[in-house]
Amino acid sequence: MLEKWSPLTAIGGFIALFAVLASLTSLVGLTDPWMYLNENQILYLFSTSAQVIASIYGLTFAGFIFFRNELSREELEDDTLSDAVEGLKRRYFSLLIFITVLVMLTVLLANLAISYEWAGRGEQSTIIINTAQSAFVASLFSIAYFIFDVASPKRIESISKNLQNKLDPGHGQEKKGSLESFLRNYNEIESLLIINGQRYENAIAASYQAKAPRRISNSRLAEMLFRQKRISQPLFGKLRELITLRNSIIHGADPVVSQEIVQNSGDVLQELKLVLEGEDIGVPQY
């Protein structure tokens, strides 16, 4: 599911569903209605619909908060999941914003349908009634999609493949690069980051008097070197991309790389060696 629909595609699909349902049901209601509802039926239908969709939304939101905390815990326990987890959080947040707007629209239309019923039956009332029920159906489908998306057992693998497709679009070509060479280059880059970032790690551990401090992630070490102006911004960006790609591969993406990525990893390694070679690595002052 994650591989097929981006958040924008999913949102666009549900907007199209709502627009088509609202247009068709309103047209049928104005020209050849299939059923007639009396005042009591309309009042009961829309008051119940508003309560049901609001309750489902509340339960979904509460469950998402719990699930988001679980994602954060996984990220804390394994820093190589950082990019995948952050990608999932951005995806879910985008979908949740859309669902929130759609649910609010559904409740508003339900209130309008009840209000127009008190004012008397007419074309406007018919359109609002059919549009409100279309919004209710679209809301149910969007919430169901969100729940299945969040509960997908392969969510980490799927988002990892998305990251790989973004960072290495040529990995699916027939001519592939050497994964062994890429990982060898990456391991050397990681060693350089650890060696040159060790002083920051020690200083942070000492400042917080940590008994058993966790190792700082490679992404964070690269950021520290960049913030201290020991590496340039372009080099920092290349390092972040290589770190993200490597983490995506070990968490479910295809274990293949393009020849271009292998070459880039070698170039980044040589550039990092030149930048850090011969630097004074005394303990920084805080």
Q: Which of 102, 121, 152 is the last residue of a domain?
A: 152
- Longest CA pairwise span in the chain (Å): 85
Q: What pLDDT is recorded for position 220?
A: 85
Determine which helix (DSSP H) or strand (DSSP E) holds 191, and give its type and residue range: helix 179-208
Q: Are 68 and 174 members of one domain?
A: no
Report whether 236 contacts 226 (CB < 8 A): yes
Highest mean pLDDT (candidates 34-48, 241-255, 257-271): 257-271
Contact 29, 130 (CB under 8 A): yes
Is residue 255 included in any domain, yes or no?
yes
Task: Number of helices (H) and strands (E) in the chain: give both, helices first.
Answer: 9, 0
Task: Looking at the structure, tell me whether residues 148 and 248 fall in a common domain.
Answer: no
The mean pLDDT value for 231-244 works out to 92
Residue 138 lies in a domain: yes
Statement to judge: residues 142 and 214 lie in one domain:
no
For residue 164, is it within any domain?
A: no
Q: Mean pLDDT over all residues of the chain?
A: 83
Asked if residue 127 and residue 49 are part of one domain, the reply reads yes
Distances (CA, A) of 128 to 21, 22, 44, 123: 12, 9, 16, 9
For the CA atoms of 107, 113, 119, 121, the dihedral, rounded to the nearest 10 degrees, stands at 180
* Amino acid occupying residue 275: V
Which tops the pLDDT comparison, 41 or 275? 275
Cβ atoms within 10 A of the Cβ of 15, count?
14
Shared domain for 243 and 187, answered yes or no, is yes
Q: pLDDT, tens digit, for every residue of 193-221?
A: 888 877 665 555 555 554 545 667 888 88
**Residue 204 corresponds to which tokens in the numbers above?**
């942070």
| Nearest C-alpha neighbor of 36 from the set 128, 120, 107, 126 | 126
- Same domain for 101 and 194, yes or no, is no
Does 100 share its domain with 23?
yes
**What value does the mean pLDDT take over residues 243-269?**
89
pLDDT at 142: 96
Q: Residue 235: give the domain boundaries.
A: 169-276
Show the tokens assigned to 164: 């790989």
- Rounded to an integer, the average pLDDT of 64-70 is 89
Please state the domain count of the chain: 2
The answer to whether residue 113 is domain-embedded is: yes
Q: 96 and 213, same structural domain?
A: no
Tell me: pLDDT of 92 over 60: yes
Higher pLDDT, residue 24 or 36:
24
- Please tell me whether residues 109 and 70 are part of one structural domain: yes
- Say yes or no: 31 and 104 in one domain: yes
Tens digits of per-residue pLDDT, 96-150?
A: 999 999 999 999 998 888 887 665 566 787 888 889 999 999 999 999 999 999 8
- Is residue 151 classed exposed, middle or buried when 0-12, 13-18 and 19+ CB atoms within 10 A define those classes? exposed
pLDDT above 70 for 1: no
Q: Which pLDDT does position 2 carry in this prediction?
A: 46
Last residue of a domain, one of 152, 186, 216: 152
Considering only CA atoms, which of 230, 247, 227 is closest in space to residue 195?
A: 230
- CB-count exposure of residue 39 (10 Å: 0-12, 13-18, 19+): exposed
19 and 124 fall within a common domain = yes
Question: Letter for the amino acid at 67?
Answer: F
